[in-house]
Structure 1
């Protein structure tokens, strides 16, 4: 198995995908040597998943794991025997660390010790995505006018990734970041071009050929946009566009043919991802809207108005029997999880429940998500500028559409669910953690530790594991070319 080092690991999306790759003989292609992550709850998630992985690969009982994630037993009740042994061993692989110049010595020491457990000069892989808030369009928008934005250290956390490249010279690396990296600037300089220039001038002199996973072109002729991967093109039920750099060390690059990901035959839709989950309803929040409106009356009036307009049939794509759908289903489902966990909706205000029901009805009729300005005025949010021309964020209430991939599941889902309204009118709520996880392609047997807000945060910050698996298969095939 090829050693894997995971930086800025989050809850383990990249790692889960790579760790699921198998060789032609059925053996696993990668073995996680170390994961580094600063968030405490994400580290707990990583460690629990490493425990599951250890038990599964060793052919040991997973009963305790499933009893815990499905709520049948407490941690105290399952923390014994082989489960306890596996959990203790997982602590050797998951490290809560803040990557930075102050921690380099310690992290270098840990990585060096892990790599020494393998044959000298054995091929290995570095994966990870430096935090993206400084590059994301949403993050930049929120910090417009911030005098400290240009000097934010988060712009430069990629240098910690490059330091590991320079110090340990992995055979192949995979670096992921948001699409906004291509348009982000630090002063007058493009952050993408700055990162590429730094990659080409590592202090030790080691060099990498930077390849695209979607365009089969000479690396010297690639454009920045050639590094964008659209997840919905590869069987992920979500329109998530990310920059992924695949680096092959220059001394072995001539031995490894270029490879790209294979596009899915059809999109995987929200319907395909969520329709089989149990229907659940949200409780009413204790918060009281400022306006004194009879929301039931307002909702019925709006629905009556829609009924009088008639219905517009929206074509449903015949994708439920596609290869992409079958691959997704096999990846997501687990017979040991008949009813997935973490599928409890958060509470909502009465006013929002009314809006959700009406907007879900409108979305079904229109085949797309309406803006809140499409609602009758009585159902508009209680904001002073809501009716003014040029009001921003008119899509702050967004119903996800059944027969298309969802919009990007972002970490903002941890703050509110208005962008992630369930398409079924009779459920009238935002997505649950499990629904967000399914759209991110985390298997139903994947469990996120921490309070619900932190669970959402982890899911939104992850790389879709099913996409990561496909990247891992390309990398494994490349490494096999060296071995052969």
Structure 2
């Protein structure tokens, strides 16, 4: 197997994609020998996933105690205490390390990498430096911050560069937000500095969507628009693939475009839920139904009787572990590919599928906005509603309102908007398309839009789980890239 080192690993999106590639005999092509991540909840998720791979691959497969855990019949603590999984977690805790990469900590991280890499074998480096300093939203929030230009997050790619220079992988895959293309430091553009630095140790840089045969690549040629490659999300990210020149490897083939995959294709088969009600933890279904009926009466006033059918009287819970059968898709279609990926070796219970609570006013907005999605699939803006339903923001009456579309329905018939870590703060930008559920997306729904398989369990509290999902690379996209890297190396 080809060793892989994953740094700035997050919850393991890139890692999952590389780990999924198997040869004609069903054996894994890539073997993750080290994952480095500093955030504690993501480390727990990474460790569980590493143990999952170990248990799945060993002779006899997963032990009963682990299958019981996936079925939610035993707790994590009960499963973890079992001798049946001790070897798996011992392996996982060697593979996954909680560690903050920096210039000061290089001696320790170098030693971790040196011990993990088999001598004399070509290997792959994957990962993406934290992107807050590059992102457009991050730069907007810190527009008047004099310390912004000195933010160490601008330069964490130098830790990536140090590992490349010191350990010389045959291939590296580096991911970041497209905001880095326009980000500047002093008089220079961040991306131009990164390009120069990455080529200098003897690497050729390749795009996964524009062939190097077309001539010199432009910075924008490194942007992958995920929705064009079978991912149910409009996620646009810079991904640079570097090949060491003296390894004399052929350029990787570019990804094959696929037809669009939609929110419906990704999340329709998940159990239906109702929202909780903020500040009312003991609220009942009847309390929630009364709010829904009130919102429906508002809808009749806005849209007229012909647009506002009576609410469906079905009862819903705020949490579900049940599993609904997946829809049937043509296996050759992009939607069929997605469902096969999500449901492969599916867990016997639905994980991380719990609706959070919302204020009554927001529940009503969610119902109205989801009900008023236009025939062309455009999500209405909040000021499309009567003024009585506008949020009480100080600038809501201004001619130009910053983030006016922060209330956004993720419509059934299109890819979703980008799932980002801000989903942990509130759900306004991620309103479920079914008005009768009247809520924002759950962690599992966001994870499906990110293409995490249903047996991928996120640990930590719910806010941490949302953050992990929002910070990840879509695993299915990573798998498509990994396939191209495997063709180059095998």
Cα deviation digits, residues 383-437 of structure 1 (max 9, x gap): 2321221121110100001000000000000111100000001001000000000
Superposed displacement of residue 320, structure 1: 4.7
- The alignment status of 1:9 with 2:9, answered yes or no, reads yes
Segments of 4+ in structure 1 off by > 6 A? none
How far apart, in 2, do the equivalents of 1:62 and 1:238 lie?
35
2:228 paired residue number: 233
How far apart, in 1, do the equivalents of 2:329 and 2:183 lie?
38
1:113 to 90, 112, 115: 115
1:279 to 243, 247, 272: 272
- The alignment status of 1:256 with 2:250, answered yes or no, reads yes
2:89 paired residue number: 87
How far apart, in 2, do the equivalents of 1:10 and 1:409 lie?
15
RMSD, aligned α-carbons: 2.1
1:214 to 192, 206, 209: 209
2:194 paired residue number: 195
| Residues 183 and 190 in structure 2, CA contact (< 8 A), matched pair in contact too | yes
TM-score, length-scaled by structure 1? 0.91
Superposed displacement of residue 219, structure 1: 8.1
Three-state SS of the structure 2 residue aligned to 1:126 is strand
Cα deviation digits, residues 192-228 of structure 1 (max 9, x gap): 0011111233xxxx31000111011248610001100
Three-state SS of the structure 2 residue aligned to 1:221 is coil
1:210-359 maps to which residues of 2 (within 5 A)? 210-218=205-213, 221-253=216-248, 255-264=249-258, 266-286=259-279, 300-307=297-304, 320-321=329-330, 323-334=333-344, 336-359=346-369
How far apart, in 2, do the equivalents of 1:10 and 1:137 lie?
20
Which shows bigger deviation, 279-288 or 126-135? 279-288
How far apart, in 2, do the equivalents of 1:193 and 1:5 lie?
25
Distance 1:438 1:63, change over 3 A: farther
Alignment gaps of 5+ in structure 2: 282-290, 309-326
How far apart, in 1, do the equivalents of 2:199 and 2:426 lie?
41
How far apart, in 2, do the equivalents of 1:169 and 1:376 lie?
60
Three-state SS of the structure 1 residue aligned to 2:264 is helix
| Residues 70 and 349 in structure 2, CA contact (< 8 A), matched pair in contact too | no
2:441 paired residue number: 431
Distance 1:22 1:150, change over 3 A: same
1:372 to 369, 374, 382: 382
How far apart, in 2, do the equivalents of 1:228 and 1:50 lie?
29
Three-state SS of the structure 1 residue aligned to 2:33 is strand
How far apart, in 2, do the equivalents of 1:42 and 1:431 lie?
20
Superposed displacement of residue 456, structure 1: 0.3
Distance 1:252 1:345, change over 3 A: same
Distance 1:12 1:237, change over 3 A: same
Distance 1:398 1:62, change over 3 A: farther
| Residues 237 and 267 in structure 1, CA contact (< 8 A), matched pair in contact too | yes
Which shows bigger deviation, 296-305 or 165-174? 296-305
Distance 1:319 1:303, change over 3 A: farther
| Residues 296 and 354 in structure 1, CA contact (< 8 A), matched pair in contact too | no
Three-state SS of the structure 1 residue aligned to 2:27 is coil
Distance 1:27 1:335, change over 3 A: closer
Three-state SS of the structure 1 residue aligned to 2:205 is strand
Distance 1:167 1:335, change over 3 A: closer
Superposed displacement of residue 113, structure 1: 1.0
Size of the aligned set, in residue pairs, is 460
Three-state SS of the structure 2 residue aligned to 1:356 is helix
How far apart, in 2, do the equivalents of 1:334 and 1:23 lie?
17
Distance 1:139 1:407, change over 3 A: same
1:29-108 maps to which residues of 2 (within 5 A)? 29-59=29-59, 60-78=61-79, 79-108=81-110
TM-score, length-scaled by structure 2? 0.90
How far apart, in 1, do the equivalents of 2:386 and 2:295 lie?
9
1:167 paired residue number: 166
